[in-house]
Amino acid sequence: MSRARSTQIVSTAPATGRTLAAPILALSSLFAWGSFGAEAAALARDSETARGDAESIRLEDADRSVETSFDGALEVDVANPAGMSIPIPDVVGGYASDRVILKLAPGVEVVDGDWSLARGGEISEEARLAFSQANVLSISPLFRRGFANPDLAAEIGLDRYRLLEVPTGSDVPGIVVSLQAALGAVQGAIQGVVQGVVQGVGPGLVELVEADGIGGVAGDAPNDPMFHLQWALENTGQVAGGVAGLPGADVSALEAWSRTTGGGGVVVAVLDSGINPHPEFADRILPGLNVPDDNDQTNDVCASHGTAVSGVLAAAGDDGLGIAGMDWTMLLIPIVVVDPCSGPESHVAEALVFATDAGADIANMSLQYYAGTSALRDAVLYAHAAGVLMVAASGNNSANALAYPAAWPETIAVGASTNLDGRWSSSNTGEGISLVAPGLSIQTTNGFSGHSSRTGTSFAAPHVSGTASLMLSVDPWLDADSIRQTIEGTTLDLPPSGYDQFTGFGRLDAGAAVMAVRAPGDFNDDGRVDGVDLSTLLALWGECPPGGSCLADIDRDGRVDGIDLSILLGRWTG
């Protein structure tokens, strides 16, 4: 079984002639578990799958080399013959390395000191040998306390489940496949090819063999001591602005965090008054720029405005300190554009070009300007063309006109909402506003180590930027336009019905937006990256059709190729 771990894939795409060698954690799941690997590979080779655009796969290890082409349904079954190929043992999302689950076929008993199975008094030598090879330590009923309704349990077959204990660290995926073959599993999570392989091999002593997955409790609220004040993230009816809130009128941060609290090094430029090295994010502040002073001094120069914006974006969550931000791991580029609290628009333009050139994924602009200069306009176009997602405050003037740069269509214009899911009264409105997000009495970071409550569209915008950052941590190849479409498409509509100039598409729902992101390689959005997705990728191999959808182009470079295959394999879950 260790042989499978050293199996290598050499994959040649006929369309391009390119050859790539990919690390093959995934292929050990795909084709080769113990002796079963040869059968699986043979099956792949012998099946009728060759197509002009199919991928050619050669499997190699120390003493075997199997070349095969496949495209469609075949590897769906071969890839996952046991209905599981979870790659990592003993972690949440992985499998238990010391447990294997059997469901006995009707009429089969465990006999002989737990070392074999029998039907009608006939003891199976295959089972005895298979258990011995798997180093099975014990076999016991899985449901240890019996059933209050034994008839129902028997109808479902719960009474036929057995737990096999094996040594910790066992190759459970390999054992599952071996036992399926030896014991003649007649039913598995995935049938078809598996049945074809094992038919006539085993005596049909079990219905299924499976690994035991490991999970855990779903996300509790983080332990930040001020989290109970953060109505924007979890509204339990907290008072804000003297008014008790509407429970649930929040961005559903807990739902978003159940999927991700950040990761992948997303970079957010904060065009603002600077960022103090507050302990909530001090270790994640990258070198920045002070535009007015033309130097690299980026401590906050305006009553902690930029520091407060950064807390909403990026305060570390569940660290026992203060508050939780939207994305707990994002990197911040501080760019000072004001001195101390105001300055020319062109400084923002400079800052935007600097942010773009520094590789920012997102530019948060909790700013309001009124001229709409061509210099800033063109800097917005520069950033947009470079793929920077721009998020801007709508402004705090009670005006029916959006501030700049929010007024330009390339930016996401964010107004402020209240803890009652209404528009904050001073939040600017106007055609082109994208959405609203919490902006009233927002608990955030202040000074060099403190916290305070802030109000305004400045503190609404970073809820949106932080949501975008979480989305990028799920899929780093998301482009700015699709992030925007998802954020705008998952809002909670606020009155009046439909898009309106007061609250745009509605109030931000970070949970829905993050959940809407498909994980890279999970083309059918079933939460797994497995043989089904691999089939999709191989079937779509080559240039993307012009104007058409290109589902399998994970890195969005216009073609489905070895890069996309590598990404998929790297994210294999089975």
Total chain residues near Ca ion (CB under 5 A) = 18
In sequence order, the β-bridge partners of residue 138 are 165
Closest approach of Cβ 318 to Ca ion, in Å? 7
Q: How far is CA 12 from the centre of its chain?
A: 29
Q: Which two tokens stand for residue 321?
A: 């300190």
CB of 444 to Ca ion, least distance (A): 11
Q: Does 322 bind Ca ion (CB under 5 A)?
A: yes
Residue 561 annotated in active site: no
The smaller minimum CB distance to Ca ion, of residues 161 and 499, is found at 499
From the candidates 458, 465, 469, 566, give the one annotated as an active-site residue: 458
Q: Is 28 a known active-site residue?
A: no
Binding to Ca ion by residue 421, rule CB under 5 A? no
Smallest separation (angstroms) from Ca ion to the CB of 138: 35
Strand partners, 417: 423, 438
Helix (H) or strand (E) holding 239: strand 239-240
Among 40, 407, 528, 562, binds Ca ion (CB under 5 A): 528
In the complex with Ca ion, the residue whose CB is nearer, 421 or 533, is 533
When binding is defined by CB under 5 A, the residue of 533, 534, 538, 572 that contacts Ca ion is: 533
Residue 564 interacts with Ca ion (CB under 5 A): yes or no: yes
Q: What is the DSSP letter of 446?
A: E
Cβ proximity to Ca ion, 98 vs 493, nearer residue: 493
Residue 413: enclosing H or E segment and its boundaries? strand 411-417
- Kindly write out the interface string for residues 232-271 of this chain, putting x where it contacts Ca ion by CB under 5 A and - elsewhere: ----------------------------------------
Exactly one of 67, 98, 493, 543 binds Ca ion (CB under 5 A); which one? 493
- Any idea what DSSP says for residue 250? S
Q: Which is nearer to Ca ion, 14 or 372 (CB)?
A: 14
CA dist., res. 424 & res. 58, Å (int): 61
Task: Closer to Ca ion by CB, 390 or 433: give it.
Answer: 433
Distances, alpha carbon 158 to alpha carbons 101, 103, 137, 164, in Å: 12, 8, 22, 15
Rounded to the nearest 5°, which phi and psi values hold at 156? -80, -25
Q: How far is the CB of 401 from Ca ion (least distance, A)?
A: 19
User: Could you tell me the smallest distance in angstroms from the CB atom of residue 18 to Ca ion?
Assistant: 12
* 317 within 8 A of 309, measured Cβ to Cβ: no
Burial class (CB in 10 A: 0-12, 13-18, 19+), 120: exposed
Map residues 506-525 to x or -, x wherever contact with Ca ion holds by CB under 5 A. ----------------x-x-
In angstroms, give the least distance from the CB of 541 to Ca ion. 10
Sign of CA dihedral 252, 258, 259, 263: positive
Amino acid occupying residue 127: A
**3-state class of 19 per DSSP?**
strand
Segment lying near Ca ion (by CB under 5 A), choices 124-132, 159-167, 492-500, 509-517? 492-500
Looking at 170, 171, 252, 305, which residue is catalytic? 305
Distance CA 179, CA 193 (A): 16
316 scored as a contact of Ca ion (CB under 5 A) = yes
Identify the residue whose tokens are 């729902």. Answer: 509
Asked if residue 553 binds Ca ion (CB under 5 A), the reply is yes
**How long, in residues, is the chain?**
574
Residue 497: active-site member: no
Amino acid at 23: P
Among 53, 109, 212, 319, binds Ca ion (CB under 5 A): 319
Q: Which of these segments, 47-55, 242-250, 344-352, 495-503, binds Ca ion (CB under 5 A)?
A: 495-503
Strands 64-70 and 95-104: unpaired
Q: Which of residues 180-239 bind Ca ion (CB under 5 A)?
A: 224
Nearer to Ca ion, 54 or 205 (CB): 54
Which of 112, 293, 296, 526 forms a contact with Ca ion (CB under 5 A)? 526
Going by DSSP bridges, is the β-strand pair 243-244/239-240 parallel, antiparallel, or unpaired?
A: antiparallel
Spot the catalytic one: 272, 421, 522, 530.
272
140: part of which helix (H) or strand (E)?
strand 138-141
Q: Give the separation between CA 3 and CA 24, rounded to whole angstroms.
A: 12
Please name every residue paired with 412 in a beta bridge, in sequence order, or none if there are none: 391
Residues that bind Ca ion (CB under 5 A): 224, 315-316, 319, 321-322, 493-494, 500, 522, 524, 526, 528, 533, 553, 555, 557, 564
Catalytically active residues, by annotation: 272, 305, 458
